[in-house]
Amino acid sequence: MIMEQAGYFASLKEKMRRERDTALFCLEEVDSTNRFAKEKAPECGKLMACALRQTAGRGRLGRHWVSPEGNLYVSFAYENTMPPERLAPVTLAVALAVCDTLADFDVPASIKWPNDIYIKGKKVCGILVETVCRGERIPYIVAGIGINVNQREFPAEVENRAVSLWNVTGKESDRAEIAWRLKKQMDRRMAQFMEKGFAAMREEYMQHSLLTGREVTASVPHTVCGICIGVSETGDLLLEAGGKRIPVTFGEVTGRLQFEGMPGEE
């Protein structure tokens, strides 16, 4: 990992030389790439912020995100053209961009609604999407992505639930190449989302859906149990219980996620 880390930022800067519409920030250490990107977005517009280490990385629902060296920690900021009421499914578009990127490296993955990426039943990536608000407007969207890349071991409390690309492939991965491919896929998916909304990519999302067909418990904040039957065109998770279809817009979702040949995986 030492050799890969030494050239990580230099290689990424070289790849980004022609991307003149995107400001690149390479940070050895930062509290949170999302906080940094939110602060810089009004000044820079479209940007990409990568860090070797985060001291206060955050996940969904305010959870702390552990950020050891060797992984990919990156946040993207995009100018928003979407009305606020249509922004909710943007996290799902970001999740698709991550799956697209992993597919570029022949690593099939699935999505646990709304923001976790899994490989063979274990979490490899988390996503946190936030907005920059100006009054009633939302001029910028910030998407933070953490991918377990070259981490070989995990703390005992998560070792049965977490995985890295190194664990899957048995070799060290080039983070600069992953970051570069992720940037291209993010650009593509965000442009698609801004122009056509989530409905245009719903079928592709369903091909990666980890929860479809599984018994799921959602806390919204009351507890709802049912069989997941998919995702709506507005990004809601759809459960079926007692003959009724129940849309889940936000909340904690749990289910049996053991590897059984998941969507998008072999």
Structure confidence by residue, pLDDT tens digits, 162-185? 999 999 999 999 999 999 999 999
Structure confidence by residue, pLDDT tens digits, 12-61? 999 999 888 999 999 999 999 999 999 999 999 999 999 999 997 665 44
Residue where the block lists tokens 């490899």: 124
Peptide bond into 139 cis (omega under 30): no
Q: What's residue 64's pLDDT?
A: 53
Q: What's residue 219's pLDDT?
A: 82
Q: From CA 66, how far away is CA 162, in angstroms rounded?
A: 12
Q: From CA 222, how far away is CA 102, in angstroms rounded?
A: 35
pLDDT of 234 higher than 50: yes
* Domains defined along the chain, listed by start: 2-207 (3.30.930.10), 210-255 (2.30.30.100)
pLDDT of 199 higher than 90: yes
Q: From CA 148, how far away is CA 132, in angstroms rounded?
A: 27
Angle at 147 between CA 146 and CA 149, to 5 degrees: 140
Strands (E), the chain: 23-30, 47-54, 72-79, 110-112, 116-119, 122-134, 137-147, 215-219, 223-231, 237-241, 244-248, 252-255
SS3 content of the chain, % helix, strand, coil (to 5): 30, 35, 35
Q: What is the pTM of this model?
A: 0.91
Phi then psi for residue 245, to 5 deg, are -95, 125
Structure confidence by residue, pLDDT tens digits, 79-102? 999 999 999 999 999 999 999 999
Structure confidence by residue, pLDDT tens digits, 188-197? 999 999 999 9
Residue where the block lists tokens 């390479």: 26
Give the chain's largest Cα–Cα span: 57
